[in-house]
Structure 1
Amino acid sequence: MAEVQVQSRISRFTLFLEHSKPILEDLKHTLYLWKRTPLALIGTLMIAGFLLMAIFAPLLATHDPLAHGEHLLPPSSTHFFGTDQYGRDIFSRVMYGARVEVWIIFIVSVVSVGIGLLVGIPSGYFGGAVDQVLMRITDMFLAFPQLVLAMAFTAALGPNLTNTILAIGLVDWTVFARLARAETIKIKGQPYIEAIQSLGAGKLRIMLLHVLPMAISPVIVQLTLRMGTIILTAAGLGFLGLGAQPPTPEWGAIVSDGRSYFIQHWWITTFPGMAIGVVVLGFNLLGDGIRDILDPRIRR
């Protein structure tokens, strides 16, 4: 009896290895393409540094980001990025500000992608009147510049970090909706979808289990490219006083704090501004690299 159980386990493990081999080979090929794509490598390193900065902010920060001290000190060995007009350490505020930016990116991504898929997939699958109504709503949002519309939502909801995240998510979903619609239209005409329909599968089941997994890949690539825009929008709202409110160490708000002191005390705005630029560039390079790797012409 024990020998039969052992043989059965060995057979299952062998079958598992056989089924896993194509997946492992595809993963190995993806890593090979990643190494051959300089944009992806550079972007990955930049974003990895950004995430590590957010995770280890309490260890990297040399001072309490909210503590007051001697104001307007230039960069030195004590205060790497100097201090602001309230005596707060700029370096520590930039480190903790990375945590705020990561939180903004995560929540906005969930909200915007969720709304985009919820609108785009039914629009592309059902077509007709459903498509017309949903796409005209999408066009209404696209008729306004994203920052202006986000400012309007934030002003209506009230200027704070939570409302800023919600406002950005409510204006950023349109790109994902149109992309998901286009992918759904392409997918629903495939023979395997017709076969599933002939077996009696319901529309909701087909959209969730068969259309959504196929449509999510280009949406993720687009999301990676949009993350830089999310940071810029959040920084813009913070700069205008509609985002995170003092004393929250948000990068756009830090830049806004130092705009009146820029000529004599340049470090207040320069270092958080450089952090915004580096992270946005990193996300753009990463998105371009992922798009190149997923290109079927390269994966041959």
Structure 2
Amino acid sequence: MTVLDLRNCPPAGTDISTHPLARALAARRPVVGGILNVTPDSFSDGGRFDSLDRAVAHGCTLAAEGADLIDVGGESTRPGSRPPTLAEELARVVPVVEALAQRTPVPLSVDTSRPEVMRAAVAAGASMVNDVRALRSPGALEVAAELGVPVCLMHMQRSPETMQQDPRYRDVVVEVRTFLAERMRACLDAGIRQEHLVVDPGFGFGKTPAHNVALLASLDGLHSLGVPVMVGLSRKSVLGQLTGRTAQAPGGTGRRPHRPVFVSSAPASIATLKDPS
């Protein structure tokens, strides 16, 4: 599950009478998004949607089941994973975004760190960038500013290949908040509007169970940054650690991810799930 509060961050130029996210937020109801991984090796659904037809069909299913936002990603960020080549990521993501943009009015976000993929996906119909590397890849910050779409900045210690190899912090809450504040400042200096910024503490990305719990208990400190906060817990080991239930492995038959009831206690308006029904 990913929870995102956009009440202070309406998309630029939004017509509140027609934009589904704006309508939902104006009604102060939760906005539910669906996660569409078009990768061969993601944690819970690797390979299930690695053909265009299956990916588009699943995206349409997410929309039909009530998703207000669909997040499309072509790079697995499970612990130990290696990034695809640029050509592989473009080939995975862009056709899916383009096809979904033609088939559903549900807004699309692209989960990528590469400026080339950001540019191509937005041109194909995506209206948000979700970056686990917080726009630190060469050229990403400049392209995100040029595109003018909302951006989610996530904290991750090291890289997916090494992030779970003995992660350590002096004070995880302070260090994550400081990192996100610094990335926000870099975005503002680059010309990205504050109302287009979202932050994500990166549960499970270079964190132990104790780090995850500490961050979850301190979400108010992140909200003090003055931008929406995204919290990702979908089918990850961290969710099993927090709930005492085993996270679903790839190819598992369980249809829905665990849904942590504690998320509702945080000021949040958008939840993105593998299966939003």
Same-fold call, TM cutoff 0.5: no
The structure number with the bigger radius of gyration is 1
Name the structure where helix makes up a greater proportion of residues. Answer: 1
More strand by share: 2
- Relative contact order, CA 8 A, sep 6+: which one is greater? 2
Normalised TM-score (structure 2): 0.23
